Amino acid sequence: MRRVTLILAAVAAVAGAIPLVTPEAGHADQEIYVTRIPSGYRDWRLISVAHEAGELNDIRAILGNDAAVKAYRENKLPFPDGAIIARIAWKYVPSEENNKIFGREQSFVPGAPPAWYLQFMVKDSKKYAATGGWGYAQFDQKGNPADRKKMSTCYPCHEPIRGRDFLFTRYTP
Amino acid sequence: MRRVTLILAAVAAVAGAIPLVTPEAGHADQEIYVTRIPSGYRDWRLISVAHEAGELNDIRAILGNDAAVKAYRENKLPFPDGAIIARIAWKYVPSEENNKIFGREQSFVPGAPPAWYLQFMVKDSKKYAATGGWGYAQFDQKGNPADRKKMSTCYPCHEPIRGRDFLFTRYTP
């Protein structure tokens, strides 16, 4: 019993350190999550790339609109309102075509879009004040937004990187 | 002795199938290789991403100028004169910062630029007729072009993918 109390106390302490995202109803959801895909994102400039192994097992590109790329290049924090970061992920697969030509198992390329195909962070310091000024969005390969439960995991994971305005990705020249 | 002859015959057969790039002197070099970094390439749109394991061990982004992206999106072969493909590579390194937050070894990101930092393919069907209409270029992290010996390996490796206008990279939506 005492042990359970200690665990609960620890959980409460962590919960206190990480502001929980608990939108109450429709209107509150709108102020924390983004439910529409920003137009033209596929034409935005490149911020960086990454490979997430493990359960995700994807290869991804991080793009930014003009405001986001400008802020990254000028190293200005926090990012200005209007900045949007796009993250496109594809399944991480070997390229049999490339490997056959190279004569070795070397090449890994984007495969099919996964259920976590598209993510966005939209900066609006007033509208999304509850989540560090960023609204979070996720869409599957059909353009359907993720449900509220899924979206509630975004901000708590980004919160530890608060010192870089909640952005994991660093700009890669 | 007979075995050596057979091997030599096999090598000759392969050499016959892959047109060798043997520029004779200064002027001929100019017509096969590109010696200047195309301006503004870092602002170009994304074609795709990849991870090359093995000796290269890099993570890379492939960008295209407007003519190249248009040709990719419209699936038009061969690519028009003026199309340029840029390939930027960075060393493939684990992100200790991300992994610490995620609580697992998952994240691989771009590290320092390697000696094979930048590559370009520039389409000019007349100027680069000897190498399938594409001029090849490679620059290190200081902007120095690769030497002639290194550059002579570009076209023979791209030649097997002649059916897709010598382009390994597929456009990733």
Q: What residues of chain A lie within 8 A of the CB of B60, using their CB?
A: 49
Q: What residues of chain B lie within 8 A of the CB of A44, using their CB?
A: 45
Q: What residues of chain A lie within 8 A of the CB of B89, using their CB?
A: none
Closest by Cβ to A54, choosing from B52, B59, B104: B104
User: What pLDDT score does A32 carry?
Assistant: 80
Mean pLDDT along residues A70-95: 97
Size of chain A, expressed as the number of residues it contains: 173
Q: Between A31 and B95, where is the model more confident?
A: B95
Q: What residues of chain B lie within 8 A of the CB of A43, using their CB?
A: 45
DSSP letters of chain A?
-HHHHHHHHHHHHHHHHS------SHHHHHTTB--SPPTTGGGSEEEEEEEE-TTT-EEEEEEE-HHHHHHHHHT-SSPPTT-EEEEEEEEEEE-HHHHHHHTSS-EEEE-S--TT-EEEEEE-TTTTGGGTTEEEEEE-TTSPBPPHHHHTTHHHHHGGGGGGTT--PPP--
Q: What residues of chain A lie within 8 A of the CB of B173, using their CB?
A: 42, 113
Alpha carbons B161 and A90: distance in angstroms, whole number = 23
Are B49 and A60 in contact by the 8 Å Cβ rule? The answer is yes
Mutate to test the interface with A, among B14, B48, B51 (most CBs of A within 10 A): B51
Q: Any idea which of A24-38, A65-79, B15-29 has the lowest mean pLDDT?
A: B15-29
User: What pLDDT score does B44 carry?
Assistant: 98
Contact flag B92-A52 (C-beta cutoff 8 Å): no
Shortest distance, CA B26 to any CA of chain A (angstroms): 30
Q: What is the mean pLDDT of each run of 10 residues along chain B (173 residues)?
A: 41 39 47 91 98 97 98 97 98 95 94 98 96 97 94 94 97 97
Are B61 and A49 in contact by the 8 Å Cβ rule? The answer is yes
Of A91, A81, A92, the closest CA to residue A113 belongs to A91
Contact flag B52-A107 (C-beta cutoff 8 Å): yes
Q: What does the pLDDT look like over A97-145, one tens digit per residue?
A: 999 998 999 999 999 999 999 999 999 999 999 999 999 999 999 999 9
Residue B55, amino acid: E
User: What pLDDT score does B32 carry?
Assistant: 81
User: What pLDDT score does B148 carry?
Assistant: 87
Contact flag A110-B49 (C-beta cutoff 8 Å): yes
Contact flag B46-A61 (C-beta cutoff 8 Å): yes
Structure tokens at A53: 């192994």
For chain A, percent of residues with pLDDT exceeding 90: 78
Closest by Cβ to B51, choosing from A46, A108, A173: A108
Q: How far is CA A155 from the centre of its chain?
A: 9
Contact flag A61-B53 (C-beta cutoff 8 Å): no
**Best mean pLDDT range from A27-36, A142-151, B80-89:** B80-89
Quick one: closest CA in B to A66, which residue? B43
B142 burial via Cβ count (<10 Å: 0-12, 13-18, 19+): exposed
Quick one: closest CA in B to A63, which residue? B46
Are A50 and A60 in contact by the 8 Å Cβ rule? The answer is yes
Shortest distance, CA A37 to any CA of chain B (angstroms): 15
Residue A30 clears pLDDT 60, i.e. is over it:
no
Are B148 and B29 in contact by the 8 Å Cβ rule? The answer is yes
Q: Strand B45-52 vs strand B58-64: parallel, antiparallel, or unpaired?
A: antiparallel
Of A110, A108, A105, A107, the closest CA to residue A91 belongs to A110
Which residue has 């509850």 as its token pair? A130
Residues 6+ apart with CB under 8 A from A166: A121, A132, A133, A134, A155, A158, A159
Mean pLDDT along residues A84-89: 98
Closest by Cβ to B108, choosing from A53, A63, A110: A53
